[in-house]
Amino acid sequence: MVDQGKPQGIANAFSVDDGNINKKQQQNVDEREPSSSSTKQQQEEEQKNVKKKEKEPSFSSTKKTSEGVGDGKKKKEEKNEKHLGLTNKKDDNFGEWYSEVVVATEMLEYNDISGCYVLRYSTMHIWKTMRTFFDKEIEKMKVEEHYFPLFVSGRALNQEKVHIEGFAPEVAWVTKAGDTKLESPIAIRPTSETVIYPYFSKWIRSHRDLPKKVNQWCNVVRMEFSHPTPFIRSREFLWQEGHTAFATKEEADDEVLEILELYRRLYEEFLAVPVVKGMKSELEKFAGALYTTSVEAFIPNTGRGIQGATSHCLGQNFAIAKMFDISFQNEEKEKCFVWQNSWGYSTRSIGVMVMVHGDNKGLVLPPKVASVQVVVIPVFDKDADKQAIFDACTKTVTILKEAGFRAEADLTHYKPGWKYSHWEMKGVPVRIEIGPKDMANNQVRVVRRDNSSKLDIPTSNLVEQVKDILDDIQKSLFDAAKQKRDASIKVVNTWEEFTTALNQKKLILAPWCDEEEVEIDVKARTKGEMGACKTLCTPFDQPALPEGTLCFASGKRAKKWTYWGRSY
């Protein structure tokens, strides 16, 4: 599976100091060289390098020493000469492939604290792109950006025990300042309801203070115990959390869906990952919510569903006087409690994108989020006018940049084959090759990362055609992912069909009686090594449910179609 080895040293889940180096992480760090379909000579070089390296003491950048960072140019160059490609295949050993790909493509680095990761430039570019879109959209909705403190007092955290109860083991606590024991331990936010809602109580007095809509972009910490997986399940992650309060339930209901639609767009229009919008079951909803909606993605390789983002209607659960007392005077001067929502989207989404689009060569980035959309590579033999080709590459990049694309030329001394593989691994959507023949014909050769197709385009039409190709890649990635997801959906009617589909790693759509005991029973009956099967969501887009359809699990009258599956 995709875990980075067993979590170590979580003897005390309430301690923030979990400083063990995960052995497997170190191995992974050592495997992170760029790839290539290299020449024989290069491969021999590589073999030599590997042998040499085996004899050398291995440095791991997961160590807290300065060695990994400051050991200079020589080591870096030595690394660059090697390009072994990915050692794992996506369809053979998916978990290892994923762990390898996120590091090899320079998206992320492991850290000596299990479940914590360095997010590198290409990751942060994706995150920034999504943040910019989302900010613009929620600004139209008059959501106001805020920032609330990282620390939560124990008293505040326990103010709403009901919702925190099941999560308590995941909360990290600071117990000391230097050597001095703190009088009262301070929690690190796992989510910010308990930090924000006391201010809502203070800021909301009259109906004129409503609606109140705040959003913050921040990190949160949850001390996950099992299977830390880059992006997907990490102990610290980045997210946005929106918290809003309204005078009426209708306004709150509308906003839940408006935000959910933005989440769908982030997945489908930016990450090119198809999702299902739907309602969580009573068992799977956030305990503090009246109801929870979500977007659900699916990873065909593992046959697991993954919750992509959630938009909750909290009802008046948090507002009531027993909780935070968030109330206002209506126009008739009566005291009323607000209706609240909360919604969150995190860096988990980036892991979903890697899992869905990546292949045996590495990452495949949707053009909309790629930090480099086009890489331009000179191709020449020894008789060619190298400088003229270099100039053509530089000029091509300038033209593309001026047209608003993110383009870069690779004019390093490595061989074209090495460069192709390197940039393919990094998932750059389009490669442009310029050689003597292209120069003579006033054309460039365009190669697509998603389907390897090649096309010669006249330089006079460069910008228009590159735009069309990038748009087409964005669309093709989504279409291909959707086709694969849809091919994984299995409609079942009986328990037997259900278990067969589960074993075939399907995303199961089944008629269900919507009874909690039945859901608990299904979980119990499917519990095994692979983890139990549960409801993912009840899609808003419901197929017809003919009169007399029975629940696949209980045989009672079915009330709805619901997606079931193992999940992350």
Q: How far is the CB of 20 from ligand 87F (least distance, A)?
A: 22
Q: Which amino acid is at 357?
A: H
Q: What is 290-346 written as a DSSP string? A: SEEEEEEEEETTTTEEEEEEEEEEEETTTTSTTTT--EEE-TTS-EEEPEEEEEEEE
Q: How far is the CB of 341 from ligand 87F (least distance, A)?
A: 9
Q: How far is the CB of 343 from ligand 87F (least distance, A)?
A: 6
Choose the binding region for ligand 87F from 59-67, 165-173, 529-537, 546-554 (rule: CB under 6 A). 165-173
On whether the CB atoms of residues 216 and 178 are closer than 8 A, the answer is no
Measure the N-to-C terminal CA separation of the chain; round to a whole number of Å.
Answer: 11
Q: CB-wise, 280 or 506, nearer to ligand 87F?
A: 280
Q: How far is the CB of 128 from ligand 87F (least distance, A)?
A: 20
Q: How far is the CB of 6 from ligand 87F (least distance, A)?
A: 21
Q: How far is the CB of 273 from ligand 87F (least distance, A)?
A: 19
Q: How far is the CB of 138 from ligand 87F (least distance, A)?
A: 13
171 binds ligand 87F, rule: CB under 6 A: yes
* Separation CA 394–CA 398 (nearest Å): 6
Of 204-223, binders to ligand 87F (CB under 6 A) are 222
Both tokens assigned to 336: 């009323």
Choose the binding region for ligand 87F from 159-167, 298-306, 360-368, 411-419 (rule: CB under 6 A). 159-167
Both tokens assigned to 201: 């109580």
Q: Which residue has 């890489």 as its token pair? A: 375
Binding mask 222-261 for ligand 87F (x = CB under 6 A): x------------------x--------------------
> Of the candidates 170, 268, 284, 325, which one interacts with ligand 87F according to CB under 6 A?
170
How many CB atoms sit inside 10 A of residue 134's CB? 22
Distances (CA, A) of 476 to 11, 358, 470, 501: 47, 14, 10, 28
* Separation CA 410–CA 397 (nearest Å): 10
On whether the CB atoms of residues 236 and 218 are closer than 8 A, the answer is no
* Separation CA 491–CA 364 (nearest Å): 30
> Of the candidates 190, 315, 366, 511, which one interacts with ligand 87F according to CB under 6 A?
190
Q: How far is the CB of 327 from ligand 87F (least distance, A)?
A: 21
How many CB atoms sit inside 10 A of residue 332's CB? 7
> Of the candidates 99, 310, 340, 396, which one interacts with ligand 87F according to CB under 6 A?
310
Choose the binding region for ligand 87F from 143-151, 160-168, 398-406, 549-557 (rule: CB under 6 A). 160-168
Of the candidates 358, 347, 283, 322, the residue with the CA atom closest to the CA atom of residue 533: 283
> Of the candidates 62, 129, 191, 371, which one interacts with ligand 87F according to CB under 6 A?
191
Of 335-364, binders to ligand 87F (CB under 6 A) are 342-344
Q: CB-wise, 95 or 154, nearer to ligand 87F?
A: 154
* Separation CA 308–CA 296 (nearest Å): 5
Q: What is 77-130 written as a DSSP string? A: HHHHH--B--SS-TTT-HHHHHHHHHHHTTSEEE-SSTT-EEE-HHHHHHHHHH
Of 64-103, binders to ligand 87F (CB under 6 A) are none
On whether the CB atoms of residues 393 and 411 are closer than 8 A, the answer is yes
Q: CB-wise, 324 or 561, nearer to ligand 87F?
A: 324
| Nearest-10 Cα torsion for 40, 45, 51, 52 | 180
Q: How far is the CB of 337 from ligand 87F (least distance, A)?
A: 19
Q: How far is the CB of 174 from ligand 87F (least distance, A)?
A: 15
DSSP state of 160: G
Choose the binding region for ligand 87F from 190-198, 254-262, 331-339, 384-392 (rule: CB under 6 A). 190-198
Q: How far is the CB of 263 from ligand 87F (least distance, A)?
A: 11
Q: CB-wise, 84 or 220, nearer to ligand 87F?
A: 220
On whether the CB atoms of residues 445 and 433 are closer than 8 A, the answer is yes
Q: How far is the CB of 195 from ligand 87F (least distance, A)?
A: 11
> Of the candidates 82, 90, 163, 419, which one interacts with ligand 87F according to CB under 6 A?
163
Q: CB-wise, 288 or 358, nearer to ligand 87F?
A: 288
Choose the binding region for ligand 87F from 25-33, 161-169, 208-216, 408-416 (rule: CB under 6 A). 161-169
Site residue total, ligand 87F (CB under 6 A): 15
Q: What is 501-567 written as a DSSP string? A: HHHTT-EEEEEE---HHHHHHHHHHH-STT---EEEEEESSPPP--TT-B-TTT-SB--EEEEEEEE
Q: CB-wise, 190 or 358, nearer to ligand 87F?
A: 190
On whether the CB atoms of residues 190 and 171 are closer than 8 A, the answer is yes
Q: CB-wise, 188 or 272, nearer to ligand 87F?
A: 188
> Of the candidates 119, 164, 469, 522, which one interacts with ligand 87F according to CB under 6 A?
164
Both tokens assigned to 37: 């379909």
Query: 228-246 burial string, b = 16+ CB within 10 Å, else e?
Result: bbbbbbbbbbbbbbbbbbb
* Separation CA 492–CA 487 (nearest Å): 14
Q: How far is the CB of 177 from ligand 87F (least distance, A)?
A: 23
Q: CB-wise, 214 or 444, nearer to ligand 87F?
A: 214
Q: CB-wise, 195 or 481, nearer to ligand 87F?
A: 195
Q: CB-wise, 127 or 343, nearer to ligand 87F?
A: 343
Q: How far is the CB of 44 from ligand 87F (least distance, A)?
A: 52
Binding mask 264-293 for ligand 87F (x = CB under 6 A): ----------------------x-------
Binding-site ranges for ligand 87F (CB under 6 A): 163-164, 167, 170-171, 190-191, 193, 222, 241, 286, 310, 342-344
